[in-house]
Amino acid sequence: MSQYIDKVLEKSEKKKWEGKINRKVMITGLVIWLVIIIGISIFFFTRGTINYFLNDKPATTSGSLIGIIILIIGLFFVLWGFFSNLVTEYSITNKRLIIKSGIIGTDYKSIYFEQMTGVNVNVGIIGKIFRTGNVQIDTGKTETYSTGDMQVGKTRTPQQIKTRTMYDVLKNIDNPYDVYNILHPSITGRRESLYSGRADRESNPEYYKKE
C-alpha cells in the first residue's frame, strides 16, 4: 500500500498487515468539530460587545473579534489534525510495527515486538458505528502527573501524584481484532523464546553460525 514504508524495510522483513485511519471516521470527526467551532463563533458574533473584568476593572471587547479568533484558531487545529491523520499509515512486519506520519516531512516510528509488553483493543461508540477500533500498544512507558489541590465546600483534597500508561495507538483502524491477533502471538511468542534461547539466536544469527 505505501511505497514510503517499503523504503524503510530491512531485507529480511515481510509485511503481515497494512492499514490507515478509517476515512469515514475522519470525515465524521471533521464535520462534528467544524459544526462546534462555527457554532461557538456565531454565538460570539451575535453578542455585539463582551463585558469582563481585567485586574478588577470593568472592560469591554468586540464579540465579533472573539468570534473571528476562535474561528481561525479552531479551523487551524482541526484541519491540521485532519490532514495529519490523512497521511498516517501503519504496517506490521514479521519484526515490528511501523508508524508513518508527518505533513511537512515524513516521520517513521518503529516498535519492535521485543519492546511490546501488551496490546489492547478499544472500541467506542464511533467504532461500533463504523466497525473500527483503536489498538493500544504498551511498551512500558508511563507519565507522572499531578491532580492539583481541589476545594469542594469545606473539604480540601490535597495534591496527588499519579502515574498513567502511555500507549502507542493505531487509531480508528478497520478490523482491529485482526491486528490484535497478529500482534498478540508475536509478543507472547517472543516472551517464550526468551526462556528457550531462541530470541538470542534470532537477534544474533551471525554469532550462532560460527558454532
Which tens digits make up the pLDDT trace of 80-101? 999 999 999 999 999 999 999 9
Q: Higher pLDDT residue, 201 or 23?
A: 23
Confidence of residue 208 (pLDDT cuts 50, 70, 90): very low
In three-state secondary structure terms, 163 is strand
* Phi, psi torsion values for 47, nearest 5 degrees: -85, -15
Buried b (16+ CB within 10 A) or exposed e, 22-52: beebbeebeeebeeebeeebeebbeeeeeee
Q: 208 or 19, which is more confident?
A: 19
Cell numbers given for 69: 479568533
At residue 103, what is the residue type?
A: I
Residues 134-159: what's their mean pLDDT? 78
To the nearest whole percent, how much of the chain has pLDDT over 90? 51
Mean pLDDT, residues 201-210 taken together: 49
Residue 207, pLDDT score: 44
Confidence of residue 49 (pLDDT cuts 50, 70, 90): confident
Q: Taking the model in full, what pTM does it have?
A: 0.77
The domain locations on the chain are: 14-205
Please provide the average confidence, as pLDDT, over all residues in the chain: 84
pLDDT digits (tens, 9 = 90+) for 13-41: 889 999 999 999 999 999 999 999 999 99
| Overall average pLDDT of the 141-162 stretch | 73
Range with the lowest mean pLDDT among 24-28, 59-63, 69-73, 122-126?
59-63
At 75, the amino acid letter reads L
